A and B are shown apart, each in its own frame.
Chain A
Amino acid sequence: MTDFSPGFRGRTHAFEGRLPPGQYPTESFPVLSAGPTPHLATDRWTFTVTDGTGGSRSWNWDEMMALPQEHPTVDIHCVTRWSKFDTRWQGVSLDVLLDGVDTTAGFVVAESYDGYTTNLPLADVTGGKAWVAHSFDGFALSPEHGGPARLLVPHLYFWKSAKWVKGVRLTVRNEPGFWEAAGYHDYGDPWREQRTWSD
């Protein structure tokens, strides 16, 4: 499962302090799936923010592309113990998509086209910490990695970065998502090794 290459091992010191406990570095990008990979056409794609009181706003693909774009370079950490440094993305900050939402909600549920869900505190998807990402390493995000667009929340375990994302729903209660309801941690901080329900 580990795939250190000699060259990579040689420069691990450069990543000192960036590898959370229990993780190993990888240069590959493993694909984990809970179902068939959806192949979604961008001309039928929308992203919807639902505010929890019945209000919603949506963007189609062209509208999403017309929003201010950011280019985060971030480390990502999968609960299956691989970490990948300096991954390069392009996407729209959730701050832009949630701007002006009038809500008392403290949480969001990210919902995907394949039925996947994951729950996050609202504070963890605002303040420059989360994006709807549509490009990886300079190319359109492939379906296997969640394209046309996925959530990117790099400071939490990567199952929180929902692939094939179709929207976020603001909630007052913290509603466990697809894996959170089956034993995974509600929050998933890699630095505190919050892998499972009991961690």
Chain B
Amino acid sequence: MTQPRPSYLDGNALAGPLSEVFAVDPTTAWRLCPTCRMPSTLGQLHVYGPEPGLTGRCPGCADIALRAVAQPGHLWIQLGSGGGAFRFALPNGTGGFT
């Protein structure tokens, strides 16, 4: 079902935008996939994007772990595959479409 070559980015692609709003290094945050039970850190996620947003997926089953959308002055973070993202205000109006 997947392309032969990886079309995703390294999980550390999430580090930049998320470090704007997290006080601790987000890439070592740990997750147990509810779908396939594979454990991974945020830095091990398969990340698609960066546009229109970053989608972090379980490296085992592609279950959606999080979505992050960078806009001028804001970062939206949605955990899991459900609805309802949190919008964080960013210092100095950073972020936005690349």
Contacts and interface: CB of A to CB of B under 8 A. Distances in A.
Interface residues of A, number: 23
Contact of B78 (A79, A80, A181, A196): A181
B87 interface: yes
A61 B77 CA distance: 37
B15 interface: no
A179 B69 contact: yes
Interface string A17-53: 0000000000000001111111100000000000000
A interface, by DSSP: helix, strand, loop or mixed?
Answer: loop
Interface in B38-87: 48-49, 51-53, 55, 57, 62, 64, 67-69, 71, 74, 76, 78, 81, 83-85, 87
Contacts of B22: none
Given A182-B85, A183-B74, A196-B71, A80 B52 contact: yes
Contact of A182 (B2, B57, B76): B76
Given A181-B83, A183-B74, A35 B51 contact: no
B3 interface: yes
A115 to B, nearest CB: 7
A115 B81 contact: yes
